């Protein structure tokens, strides 16, 4: 007889099936194997005390500040923890409780129903001469060569833009943007490259977006977060997907002292509002992708918080995109020129995938394909 401690178990059901557990027991046991943590902000004090007792009664736990029991403050922050099974039972129990606990229960049930998506690689091609990473800049003929290379290297999506969105980027007219991207769109259409990969247009200008959609593109990557209803309507008209990115300010001023009350709450509120707007205009939720906007109106601390809590944004039922490729947050952690930030990029992106991101936007497709293949292999359950 020998006992050894298992590491992190990713695919719990697969492990149990290989162990020979009967089908009926797989769901029951797997729910007891997953430990979940929830940070709850500004919960009314009576609700905190009720939730504490109810959590303990089902085998879960609620960490609370001192002073709660004597109701020193009207609200408190607290942390709920328990297995998936505990949270399932507790969420049903709290549906009948007062002081806002029904809302807590409904939110917990949303997290319990989160949908999982396969990981995809989005390659970046910039049809301009001023993007922050010189290695991503390509004109017409070179762009097509790079696109085909990315497809061969394993890119699922190719994101093409003609205007830089780096901090303090120059403003470009609509006509110039269209002039830059049009010849690339034409070749993609004529060679039917859209049959080999999904093509994304990185723009928020309706004329540019529609030209791309007519050329076989099926994804709109809007850094303004669908601030223009015309973009949402185009996504509906062409049955395209829409990536909504969060950005505080504009590329010209977004890094001028960005600040948030709570970056996770603020970005979540933004997504909730924009998703509702999209659905009102007829865009299906399954056609919405969320991008927290790493580096777009964020400090290093904001970026790290978003990556660490990437799993939170899965609650909206949409695919979650991460795009930190060669960005300055790497330089802020360890001073490194743009050309030498691949290692940092891979580290951030693998952590983001571990935490819930399902689309990785990057400049280095082949390297990400390799890293993700190794990551997925290491996460296979072998006993």
Query: For 131-180, what is the HEC assignment?
Result: CCCHHHECCHHHHHHHHHHHHHHCCCEEEEECCCCCCCCCCCCHHHHHHH
Integer distance in angstroms from the first to the last C-alpha of the chain?
15
- 361 carries an active-site annotation: yes
Query: For 283-351, what is the HEC assignment?
Result: CCHHHEEEECCCCCCCCHHHHHHHHHCHHHHHHHCCEEEECCCCCHHHHHHCCCCHHHCHHHHHHHHHH
| 268/259 Cα distance (integer angstroms) | 15
- 92 carries an active-site annotation: no
Other CB atoms within 10 Å distance of the CB of residue 56: 11
Candidates 241, 274, 298, 361; catalytic one:
361
Candidates 180, 327, 341, 369; catalytic one:
327
Ramachandran angles phi, psi of 169, nearest 5°: -65, 150
Active-site residue numbers?
A: 327, 361
């Amino acid at each position: 007889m020998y006992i050894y401690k298992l590491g992190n178990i990713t695919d719990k059901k697969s492990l149990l099936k290989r162990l020979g557990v009967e089908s009926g027991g797989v769901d029951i046991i797997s729910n007891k194997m997953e430990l979940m943590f929830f940070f709850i902000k500004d919960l009314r004090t009576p609700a905190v005390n009720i939730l504490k007792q109810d959590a303990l009664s089902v085998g879960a736990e609620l960490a609370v500040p001192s002073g709660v029991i004597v109701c020193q403050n009207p609200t408190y922050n607290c942390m709920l923890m328990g297995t998936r099974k505990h949270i399932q039972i507790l969420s049903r129990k709290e549906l009948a409780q007062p002081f806002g606990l029904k809302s807590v229960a409904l939110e917990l049930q949303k997290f319990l129903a989160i949908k999982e998506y396969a990981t995809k690689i989005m390659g970046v091609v910039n049809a301009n001469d001023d993007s922050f990473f010189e290695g991503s800049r390509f004109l017409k003929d070179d762009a097509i060569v790079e696109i085909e290379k990315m497809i061969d290297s394993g890119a699922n999506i190719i994101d093409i833009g003609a205007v830089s969105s780096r901090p303090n980027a120059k403003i470009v007219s609509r006509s110039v943007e269209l002039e830059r991207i049009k010849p690339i769109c034409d070749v993609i259409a004529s060679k039917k490259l859209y049959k080999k990969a999904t093509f994304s247009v990185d723009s928020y200008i309706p004329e540019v977006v529609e030209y791309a959609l007519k050329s076989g593109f099926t994804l709109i990557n809007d850094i303004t977060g669908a601030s223009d209803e015309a973009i949402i309507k185009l996504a509906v008209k062409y049955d395209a997907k829409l990536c909504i990115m969060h950005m505080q300010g504009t590329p010209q001023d977004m890094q001028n002292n960005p600040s948030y009350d709570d970056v996770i709450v603020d970005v979540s509120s933004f997504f909730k509002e924009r998703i509702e707007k999209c659905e009102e205009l007829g865009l299906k939720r399954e056609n919405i992708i969320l991008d927290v906007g790493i580096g777009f109106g964020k400090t290093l601390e904001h970026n790290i918080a978003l990556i660490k809590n990437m799993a939170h944004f899965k609650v909206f039922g949409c695919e979650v995109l991460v795009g930190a490729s060669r960005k300055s947050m790497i330089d802020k952690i360890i001073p490194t020129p743009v050309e030498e930030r691949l290692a940092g990029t891979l580290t951030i992106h693998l952590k983001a995938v571990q935490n819930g991101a399902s689309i990785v936007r990057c400049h280095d497709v082949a390297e990400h394909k390799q890293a993700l293949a190794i990551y997925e292999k290491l996460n296979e359950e072998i006993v």
